[in-house]
Amino acid sequence: MSEQSKENQLVFFFGGGDAEGGADLAHLLGGKGSNLAEMSSIGVPVPPGFTISTEVCRQYYENDREYPEGLHATVQEYLGRVEELMGKKFGDPEDPLLFSIRSGAPVSMPGMMDTVLNVGLNDETVQGLIKQSDDPRFSYDSYRRLVQMYGDVVKGIDGDKYEELIDKKKEEVGADRDTDLTADDWKDLVGQFKDLYKEETGETFPDDPEEQLWGGITAVFGSWNNERAVKWREINDLPHDVGTAVNVQTMVYGNMGADCATGVAFTRDPANGAKEAIGEYLPNAQGEDVVSGVRTPRPLNSYEREKSGKDLPTLEEEMPAAYEELTEVFDLLEEHYQEMQDIEFTVQNKTLYILQTRTGKRTAPAMVKIAHDLAEEGIITRKKALDRVEPKRLDQMLHPMIDPEAKEENEAIATGLGASPGAAVGQIVFESDEAEEWVEEGKDVLLVRHETSPDDIGGMNVAEGILTSRGGGTSHAAVVARGMGKPCVAGCGALNIDYDKKQVEVHGEVYEEGDWFTIDGASGEVFAGQLGMTEAKLTGEFEELMSWADQYRELGVRTNADTPKDAELAREFGAEGIGLTRTEHMFFEEERIDNVRQMILAAPDVQDLRLQKEALEDELETAQESQIEEIEEQLEKVEGELEETLPQYQQALDALLPEQRSDFEGIFEAMDGLPVTVRLLDPPLHEFLPEEEEDQKRLADRFDISLGEVQQLLRNLEEFNPMLGHRGCRMGISYPEVYEMQTRAIMEASVNVASKGVDVQPEIMIPLVGIPRELEILRERVDAVCQEVLREADQVVDYKIGTMLELPRACVRAAEIAEHAEFFSFGTNDLTQTTFGISRDDAGKFLEHYQHEGIIDKDPFAALDQNGVGELLRMGVERGRQTRKALKVGICGEHGGEPSSVKFCDEAGLDYVSCSPYRVPIARLAAAQSAIDVQEDLTSY
Amino acid sequence: MSEQSKENQLVFFFGGGDAEGGADLAHLLGGKGSNLAEMSSIGVPVPPGFTISTEVCRQYYENDREYPEGLHATVQEYLGRVEELMGKKFGDPEDPLLFSIRSGAPVSMPGMMDTVLNVGLNDETVQGLIKQSDDPRFSYDSYRRLVQMYGDVVKGIDGDKYEELIDKKKEEVGADRDTDLTADDWKDLVGQFKDLYKEETGETFPDDPEEQLWGGITAVFGSWNNERAVKWREINDLPHDVGTAVNVQTMVYGNMGADCATGVAFTRDPANGAKEAIGEYLPNAQGEDVVSGVRTPRPLNSYEREKSGKDLPTLEEEMPAAYEELTEVFDLLEEHYQEMQDIEFTVQNKTLYILQTRTGKRTAPAMVKIAHDLAEEGIITRKKALDRVEPKRLDQMLHPMIDPEAKEENEAIATGLGASPGAAVGQIVFESDEAEEWVEEGKDVLLVRHETSPDDIGGMNVAEGILTSRGGGTSHAAVVARGMGKPCVAGCGALNIDYDKKQVEVHGEVYEEGDWFTIDGASGEVFAGQLGMTEAKLTGEFEELMSWADQYRELGVRTNADTPKDAELAREFGAEGIGLTRTEHMFFEEERIDNVRQMILAAPDVQDLRLQKEALEDELETAQESQIEEIEEQLEKVEGELEETLPQYQQALDALLPEQRSDFEGIFEAMDGLPVTVRLLDPPLHEFLPEEEEDQKRLADRFDISLGEVQQLLRNLEEFNPMLGHRGCRMGISYPEVYEMQTRAIMEASVNVASKGVDVQPEIMIPLVGIPRELEILRERVDAVCQEVLREADQVVDYKIGTMLELPRACVRAAEIAEHAEFFSFGTNDLTQTTFGISRDDAGKFLEHYQHEGIIDKDPFAALDQNGVGELLRMGVERGRQTRKALKVGICGEHGGEPSSVKFCDEAGLDYVSCSPYRVPIARLAAAQSAIDVQEDLTSY
């Protein structure tokens, strides 16, 4: 039949391994109808029937609820074809053919329209059903359902009235549940329902199957314009003139005797992805029996039996022919839908019917394996396989996680912010010292604190995981934990920690030091007790899939790594360089923090004296002759003080130099042949000073000053909004020696490893630039040190100097900034904070509510805000490249490992994304998906 | 002479009330030459002379340092014209004509090129000078200057060598200063200088005046390419091929006898602007005598004598003809230059010569009066008068200020941030309670605190001014003080306040409670003691000038005012409405803070319970049947708790309603007929809670809870970066009742005053919107309350609902935001903070250094950053108006009163600026200047 004539066809047949329509005719057949046709046309045994097209619906409404001419005759003809196929007759008192009548619009409108089942039953034909099923209770129950649904759907009788009658009957006979009612009870109810029908409509319930059929069809077409459906279309902005199709399909039953069965199956194992069908079934049963739990379902086959450990007969053994046919259907469906399927089937008198098929849900490992295997089997292309894998779900495969079953059995006692993924089990301790002691004794601990500080590094380092009651995603705990690759739940406000009593109270429950907790650093859940864990594994299929991803993607993937260990791990995961090495984490390390603090003790004085000196020099330039002498005296005094203060400062920096150098050497060696971007010091100085008085005292003793002096310094350095304070390049401008020391360490390390044959590619990154001149000044200073080191060593090492774009102003002025930068790296964490004017640490108070209210779709700190932050990012890229065409541009915020953000970065023309080691595979896959998207439309397969 | 031939003319004459050139020939005559020509051509008696053009310089260098043909003859001819005019001869031993030879390039190159004075002196002519001046000492001093300068300039002899000879001579005769040397000493030095000349050059010093003249001319042309001049041009990016002109001008002397004098004068009084010339002179003296202080200068006229109180003879009396001529010159100059002039003059043998004229410096009040008067006198247009007034300088006229003399005599003991302009004197107290007590006793106090908090409102209210040791421009002290129009110096780190001892230590000096301090809230200076004050006055001229400004400006000017008093003041200053009423200041008022705090005590619980409720409702929607019961139970429990908590919360809000309403009534009445923009609550809740433990205790007692509970609440509300925290519309979303109460208060107040006949135009402003949906939700809620109130009152009041644009994201998404806003108001304080990523409160640590290093020109919190913040602002305006053409757009950040920012706002198409009352006149003027700029080029006058 030609396409044109199909458009004019009013009724479409399906069944018997054939169909008049298919997926391409969804606009006429609706979703359900076209799926049934599709399955049938590829030879899947669906219960046969026919679909009355949406065109009929449209004409019906256009012609004042009159059906098109000839429809009755056509339906009659198609009904005959079904009778022929099934070998049964509609209205046959011996063995009646029964139908379901269902709506099916081109777009899914779940539950909005009506359905009538068991059409064709009456007092005569029910006897035939009893004979066939040998089950009067089932037969009368089916009959009463028809009467009930027909009354409800066709005549609009209030459904509650039927339920009242059932309830009354249950009371009468002392039955608790519907299933306690007998065949006679149901039979009686059929009578009562019919009486109700008469009462409500003034008409007798139609016994004539044909009358039932047309009543049902008309009711379903009518439901297209019922109140619910109209409202639903309004809410979802759908057109009202599309219409619905009506599907008239043979009813099949799995409870017609011993040669009947019903069950569910997956075409592959959804737990691990193995190419083995699994499933459950029940002989002589209805579909709902399989899930109700009244009877124990049996395993589909030996694979399932072995896996489940249920020593029961299988369909494979009991009904080998049906099973054989089923496995053929599995292949048919997988090949056609190119996906693992989740199927409902019924065997009615030895004949297999597939009631439904849909894409099967699966675990992350199964997702990977199935995508891989389908490609290897030639069912899908590699590109399609890559597209099938959800990058986000890989996360759980890359970290140890709580055993899903254990998670289901236990309820979280509290939920905080999932600040660093992975799960951890340990005994809770509240002090870092204690954590270290306990671990030395061989215990596993979880460090539980209000917040962590640099003084907790030791404890954090030995703990299995970290749990804090305050702070957010960029709190010390969160940042350091992520850096360490250690699970962390932060800002869990429900914890009331009492350090003195060494206990924590959670919703009225008190837990003591030493109690076991389990935390999930991805979901933020906290559990009491020891939950079982599953280890992360990189299967061969996963690795192979990743290599396919690398073939297609254009976007580079680097990692954020602060240690050689992390760098190595990331390289194993496929990182092509380091996009961000944070030098401050090195500062936090225990043996160095003293030197850092010594430097900080002197730094504000040095800065202050220098400012005074500058001011005096300025004064001198414009001074009257009479003032010159006095100014010169003051200047001399200030210079004297500066000379006294500088050594302490410089000495501390000198001590840090070799330590930083060796840090960099390790990282450069691990990244041999790949670029390494090192960010110069970013956080404000006060972050390196102790918060607890006890630690402050220790610091005071160490440097032979008073506690008061330490606290005064802290007060001086304290900031109202540290996020917007004296940090990043602002500090680099104020304290040139710090950046100079770091640059020297980077370049000396480069020279050292290069002389050992390592291919070192250092990229020095200056953070938080907002004003082009900031970068101009610092670039010059940094470059001078680089040149000096290379001159001293008489060696050549290629290096780059660039900057982070993390402020709106930097994006706006990117053209000028690019004059001084060989590369840009977007720091989208800070860019998000400044663009939104939202502190990530404080956002918890309202962002949750925002998501609930639909004010934001996603947490902008998790997925890049493409409309706001993204527009500034694009502006930065465009303007930067206007100045410097070859400008290398990357992103090193945490968005670099989030799939939708990676795709955005690819489209925005970035050269690479950089993310934490564990997210590197996710970014590789997301980048491949983005490239595939661009290259071709996958739907054309 | 035609223009073309002037271009070819090599030498230009000036003097005798005529000149061959003028200001339009600066490219040929240089700056100095064209000015002399200009003055002479309008009849000002300048010492005559001639200018050798820049063209000669260019030809000189092009032709290998050869002068153009005929130059010598022309110079000879012009020299003759000067001789004729002066009635003296060059080289005449009886009465020699003497010349100065000076460089003068088209662009100013101060001090870079050379000068030779007293050209024409030799052993013979010096006798003529002695005869004429009757002053051998002066004559030989002049002679030695010629020899010295000639040797230095023409022959490049090291100037130090001359100085050494002078020093040796002084030692010889026991003289301390040059003025102690006698005529003979100088005569002797002339000989020594000539010997030195011979030694250094091998030539005899030229006695021939003509040789001196050409030597001088050639040396000055030569100095165009001396090292200093070349370098200076390089630094200043000036072309090297422009060349300099050379001015040969008659030397005149004010010390040639009793009929000679020399002096300085202003054409109007620079102190108050009165149309009265003032000045000083000395008879028979040289210019340097007037300023050296060796002789007491005499008043120019009776006006000056009266003003200065010096009972000395005046030029007016002593040399009436010269004085008469001088006053004519004043008129001539003012009419020509259209400005008050600062003049140097000399009377040589009764003949008046003007040596120099330039625009005179003046005080702010004089600036206003002179601009006004010049316009009234018809010398300049009103537009030009407006353009003449520097808006910034008006600030000091609008506040009481420290008497400038007192300020000069006293040195500041410390300097903080000038946080709220105006000056204040008072006895220092450290506690607000005490401040109130002292004021009750009739004392004037300055409140001195580390920082202020809402608990200090009482003390701040009675204090003359506020001084804090911590905090910046947006600290509580600064913001509240500005709101109160009270002087404030904030963040004065040099103060070490000891509350217990009731004293403050500043740089080692200890001041006790009760000691007097004077503060300058504009400059940030702090003085010990009571300094004299001058009161602010708005003179008639000032008012009139402002009315002219209003005629030209297109930009509206509103005010930021939180009280009826401020509103009235601003209206007096010409505000055309209120652009920002901050409702939080009303919250801080003493009698209300309790209600505010009661609300806050409950608010987080209410929010928390609501979040729980929402989460449970969400769960319920997707729950399995088996879970429903449990969820419903939990839901019931939460709803129960919410019902318990809400009354405390709602009760506090109910108590605040009438108070807020009456606030608004007062403001609306004061602004009858003008729009009033009210911003709904903006600061985070924790700002309203007490910081000091003592106050916390009081709060706990007041509400019958424990101190621990108060502190726990504070900890819960505490934020890492409050600037980026839970504030503005985010709070409005979390706590709908607060905005609803405020909206109700605004609309009820509107209805109440409208019924009294007041024309009320409320504009409700929702702060800190970054996401269009935030505004959509809040606008709907606010609008509903407005409608409700109007319905209840059965009245019509036009109101507007709009938003503040103060986040980069809001600018980027302005098109969508405008869908829900009838107006935009840019909050450029916060927009600057977020665009730069700089917290204003913390910026002090590095912005000062940034200015010193030239990283920024101006503090971006004082003058709008046009390149960065400005670009986002423009984006916001454009995108907003794309959606809503008639969108009203203003600015209410503190930039609204800063002239360059006002101009930017005008150009960016804003409808109005809004600033503090005292800055309204500044904004009016700046807006007028911007409009004038646009309308015509002022240089075409």
pLDDT in tens, A652-661: 999 999 999 9
Phi, psi of B912 (to 5 degrees): -155, 160
Q: Is A843 helix (H, G, I), strand (E, B) or coil?
A: coil
**Most confidently modeled of A103-112, A531-540, B11-20?**
B11-20
Q: How far is A389 from chain B (nearest CA, A)?
A: 26
Max CA separation in chain A (angstroms)? 127
Reply yes or no on whether A852 is catalytic: no
Among B889, B921, B891, residue whose Cα is nearest residue B822: B889
pLDDT in tens, B340-357: 999 999 999 999 999 988
- Provide the edge-to-edge strand list for the sheet that holds A99-104: A18-19, A11-15, A49-52, A245-250, A99-104, A115-119
Residue B455 has pLDDT above 80, yes or no: no
Determine contact, residues A166/A189, Cβ cutoff 8 Å: yes
Phi, psi of B580 (to 5 degrees): -160, 115
For residue A872, give the nearest of B722, B812, B846 by CB distance: B812
Contacting residues of A for B734, CB less than 8 Å apart: 845-846, 849
State chain A's mean pLDDT as an integer.
90
Q: How far is B835 from chain A (nearest CA, A)?
A: 5
Residue B299 has pLDDT above 80, yes or no: yes
Among B727, B114, B100, B261, residue whose Cα is nearest residue A845: B727
Q: Cβ neighbours of residue A112 under 8 Å, at least 6 residues apart?
A: A223, A226, A228, A229, A232
Q: How far is B871 from chain A (nearest CA, A)?
A: 8
User: Residue B938's pLDDT is what?
Assistant: 44
> What is the rounded average pLDDT of the residues A854-878?
94
Determine contact, residues A295/A284, Cβ cutoff 8 Å: no
For residue B526, the cross-strand partners are: B414, B519
Residue B471 has pLDDT above 60, yes or no: yes
pLDDT in tens, A279-314: 989 998 887 777 666 678 899 999 988 887 778 999
Percentage of the residues of chain B whose pLDDT score is greater than 70: 96
Owner of token pair 């030609």: A2
Nearest-by-CA chain A residue for B833: A724
For residue A903 the two structure tokens come to 């795709």
Contacting residues of B for A722, CB less than 8 Å apart: 720-721, 842
CB contact under 8 A, B770 and A865: no
User: Residue A161's pLDDT is what?
Assistant: 92
Q: Kindly list the catalytic residues of B.
A: 476, 892
Residue B795 CB burial class (10 angstroms; 0-12, 13-18, ≥19): middle
User: Residue B296's pLDDT is what?
Assistant: 81
Residue B477 CB burial class (10 angstroms; 0-12, 13-18, ≥19): buried
Q: With residue B414 as reference, give the H or E element that holds it.
A: strand B414-415
Residue B1 has pLDDT above 50, yes or no: no
Give the 3-state DSSP-derived string for B813-828, with helices as H, strands as E and coil as C. Answer: CHHHHHHHCCEEEECH
CB contact under 8 A, A733 and B849: yes
Nearest-by-CA chain B residue for A875: B812
Contacting residues of A for B723, CB less than 8 Å apart: 720-721, 724, 837, 839
For residue B540 the two structure tokens come to 């008639």
pLDDT in tens, A229-261: 887 787 777 888 889 999 999 999 998 888 999
CB contact under 8 A, A721 and B716: no
Contacting residues of B for A865, CB less than 8 Å apart: 809
Strand A525-528 with A516-520, pairing: antiparallel
> What is the rounded average pLDDT of the residues A418-427?
87
Residue B941 has pLDDT above 60, yes or no: no
> What is the rounded average pLDDT of the residues B221-242?
83
CA A406 to chain centre: 21
Determine contact, residues A402/A532, Cβ cutoff 8 Å: yes
Q: Cβ neighbours of residue A615 under 8 Å, at least 6 residues apart?
A: B852
> What is the rounded average pLDDT of the residues A918-937?
84
Which of the pair, B585 or A929, is modelled with greater confidence? A929
Nearest-by-CA chain A residue for B729: A846
pLDDT in tens, B804-826: 999 999 999 999 999 999 999 99
User: Residue B516's pLDDT is what?
Assistant: 96
> What is the rounded average pLDDT of the residues B911-915?
97
Among A910, A893, A904, residue whose Cα is nearest residue A933: A904
User: Residue B538's pLDDT is what?
Assistant: 64
User: Residue A1's pLDDT is what?
Assistant: 46
Q: How far is B722 from chain A (nearest CA, A)?
A: 7
pLDDT in tens, B485-503: 689 998 888 899 999 999 9
Residue A66 has pLDDT above 90, yes or no: yes
For residue B138 the two structure tokens come to 């002066």
Give, as one character, the DSSP assignment of residue B687.
G
For residue A724, give the nearest of B716, B833, B856 by CB distance: B833
Most B CBs within 10 A among A735, A776, A780, A834, hence the mutation to make, goes to: A834
Residues of B79-116 as b/e, b for ≥16 C-beta within 10 angstroms? beebbebbebbbbeeeebbbbbbbbbbbeebeebbbbb
For residue A868, give the nearest of B720, B809, B842 by CB distance: B809
Q: How far is B768 from chain A (nearest CA, A)?
A: 8
**In whole angstroms, how far apart are CA A900 and each of A105, A386, A904?**
31, 15, 6
State chain B's mean pLDDT as an integer.
90
Contacting residues of B for A768, CB less than 8 Å apart: 837
Q: Is A596 helix (H, G, I), strand (E, B) or coil?
A: helix
For residue B809, give the nearest of A771, A835, A855 by CB distance: A835
Which of the pair, B749 or B398, is modelled with greater confidence? B749
Angle at A194 between CA A189 and CA A200, to 5 degrees: 125
Sign of CA dihedral A714, A718, A722, A726: negative
Phi, psi of B691 (to 5 degrees): -95, -30
Which of the pair, A108 or A258, is modelled with greater confidence? A258
Contacting residues of B for A813, CB less than 8 Å apart: 867-868
User: Residue B501's pLDDT is what?
Assistant: 92
Which of the pair, B458 or A744, is modelled with greater confidence? A744
User: Residue A3's pLDDT is what?
Assistant: 54
Residue A399 has pLDDT above 80, yes or no: no
User: Residue A533's pLDDT is what?
Assistant: 86
Among B843, B810, B842, residue whose Cα is nearest residue B824: B810
Q: Cβ neighbours of residue A558 under 8 Å, at least 6 residues apart?
A: A575, A576, A577, A578, A579, A580, A675, A677, A890, A892, A912, A913, A914, A915
Residue B4 has pLDDT above 70, yes or no: no
> What is the rounded average pLDDT of the residues B508-512?
93
Reply yes or no on whether A476 is catalytic: yes
Owner of token pair 């039979």: A187
